[in-house]
Amino acid sequence: MKNKYLEAGKIINTHGVNGDVTAESYCNTPKQLSLLKNLYIRTKEGNYLRLDVKKSAVFKNRVILGFEGLGSLEEAVRLKNSIIYADREDIPIGANEHFIADIIGLPVYDSDTGECYGVVSDVVNYGAGDIYEVTKNDGKKAYVPVVPQFVRKVDTEAGVYISVIEGLL
């Protein structure tokens, strides 16, 4: 079952004295996070508390957020280091795009033979593009660049299908 709420960023600091916060975006771009009208934080009990965004702006690759009902520095300090979540239905996604949360844990298959190599254990990006970290069946790690040459198909219900060349795994 897919999670309703997805990690969208982290509140890293306060901004000013009126209850605004600075957030690091986990979205494709900070702009994408700044466009969301509702964000959520997870309570100690595991529930999600909705925060209505009253203002947002992108500044130096971070997002400045102001929330309804949050009007002081003291209130904003309590949110520092909180992970912020978005409802997956509030995030527009393209036809061939996927949420990272839906890819982690998927089995990785050879697109020609159907052999299962392991599971996607992480998705990393060092600037040139996404890379799937695959924990192979023997416990070792392999890294597969997310490019059409290697990743042939991603089915968030069934698995990731790759084309393997010598040395890839």
Q: What is the pLDDT of residues 94-152, one digit of tens each?
A: 888 899 999 999 999 999 999 999 999 999 988 888 999 999 999 999 999 999 999 99
Longest Cα–Cα distance in the chain: 60
- The answer to whether residues 27 and 58 touch, using CB atoms and an 8 Å cutoff, is no
- 106 and 53 share a domain? no
- 48 and 75 share a domain? yes
The answer to whether position 96 is within a domain reads no
The answer to whether position 167 is within a domain reads no
The answer to whether position 169 is within a domain reads no
pLDDT value of position 128: 84
pLDDT value of position 126: 85
| pTM summary value | 0.83
Higher pLDDT, 18 or 166: 18
- In the numeric block, the tokens 């990393």 are attached to 124
Mean pLDDT, the chain, rounded, equals 94
The answer to whether position 109 is within a domain reads yes
Structural domain range at position 23: 5-90
- CA 169/CA 154 separation, integer angstroms: 18
Closest among 158, 136, 33 to 86, alpha carbons compared: 33
